[in-house]
Amino acid sequence: MSTFRAPKGTFDLIPPDSAAFLRVREVMAQTVRLAGYQYVETPAFEDTTLFKRGVGESTDIVNKEMYTFTTQGGDSVTLRPEGTASVLRAVLQANLEKAGQLPVKLYYSGSYYRYERPQKGRYRHFSQVGAEALGAQDPQLDAELIILAVDAYRALGLKNVRLLLNTLGDATCRPVYRAALQDYLRALDLDEATRARIELNPLRVLDDKRAEVQAQLTDAPRIVDYLCEDCKAYHDEVRGLLTAAGVAFTDDPKLVRGLDYYTRTTFEFVHDGLGSQSAVGGGGRYDGLSELLGGPSLPSVGWALGVDRTVLAMEAEGVLERDVPRVDVFAVPLNDEARTLFFGVITELRRRGVSADTVFGGRGLKGAMKAADRSGARYALVAGERDLAENVVQLKDLASGEQSPVAVDQIIPTIKEKLS
């Protein structure tokens, strides 16, 4: 046994669990592809300044959780702690906002890294699927993305994911709210670190998870009471679109998310079966982020859905399938002639879109049939000296146990017909 282990706070994805993670990613990706989102992939590390400026220097992510190191060339780079800043940087670098119709609709899937205290549902290396719509300020776009996330969770069989919804206003109304919130927070009994946060970004205090802090926020000013007419109308339209689409939500005036770049619509998906790590995804609108990164005005909205926590939510609801069949057909040769025949058969089956495998290493019939059972295959092909003398193979239904001879030249059309 190797003495090496996965780093603390990380884990390996290996079969059969890896099949469940892969399915979650594929379902989420397929949902947004149906709405015209195209795939984008960015480097696993970026210039550190991108995240300091894009995520926000007042956030715990930047202050405490980033994996930052200096390269041999002296550059400061950071493993990506989230996806939006990288995607926006890629769009601006490629001038995609000038290349065609706006919004630019993109989705991504990958690994992200934060130095956190490891616990179930909170890892230092985690997986997300994200979607971003860049270049349009439209309530329908906000609603579209929220509905797509809801549809993805439903497609995975989840019934107990709840949607929390809020608005953070814009550059017109948020400064007024910010001042009122600061006045309220300064009068509370808070520690020095939290008091410093009041001056830097008071909305971050609303996101404080400590019970002793939340107990003092009962009567805190609410952003919805300070919205300008444009932001109020915008938020009302998002709410109306969600209701018309049959999407239930809970208004949460304290929802600010963990990133500094959000404006107007913010939302979070939670699952009560996960304990303290209840958030399974979330996002919002970030109309001013492009300018912070040196780009043009590019109002945008997006979300990221946590693959790891979604799997845990599926497990909590009893809808997680780990034992996914590896192949449709498994070949069991009983002599060298059958090995040669079946190697050609499974190669042709794969080329025709049928998943197929065979036994390797010269196992006997008993061992080969065990391998076929473990593969989860629906059918087994079995052939020995007597079968080949009659120019047939045996096709066995591994679920029913029924077995019948099939002419060698009819193997592939027979399997295709049965699988159809």
Binding region: 82-84, 114, 128, 132, 257, 261-262
Q: State in Å, rounded, how far the first CA of the chain is from the last one.
A: 44
Q: Strand pairing partners for 47?
A: 77
- Given a contact cutoff of 8 angstroms between Cβ atoms, the answer to whether 337 and 403 are in contact is no
- Given a contact cutoff of 8 angstroms between Cβ atoms, the answer to whether 396 and 418 are in contact is no
Residue 221's CB is within 10 A of a number of other CB atoms, namely 21
Q: Cα–Cα distance between 36 and 49 in angstroms, integer? A: 31
Convert 352-385 to b/e letters by CB count within 10 Å (16 or more is b).
eebbbbbbeeeeeeeebbebbeebbbbbbbbbbe
Q: Residue 127: which of 308, 385, 260 has the closest Cα?
A: 308
- Given a contact cutoff of 8 angstroms between Cβ atoms, the answer to whether 131 and 188 are in contact is no
* Dihedral pair phi/psi, residue 393, rounded to 5°: -130, 165
3-state secondary structure of 54: helix
Query: Angle of helix 17-33 relative to helix 307-317, nearest 10 degrees?
Result: 110
Q: Where are any strands of DSSP class E within 8-47?
A: 38-39, 45-47
Long-range contacts of 183-189 (CB under 8 A, 24+ apart): 184/219, 184/220, 184/221, 185/220, 188/216, 189/216
Known binding residues for L-histidine? 82-84, 114, 128, 132, 257, 261-262
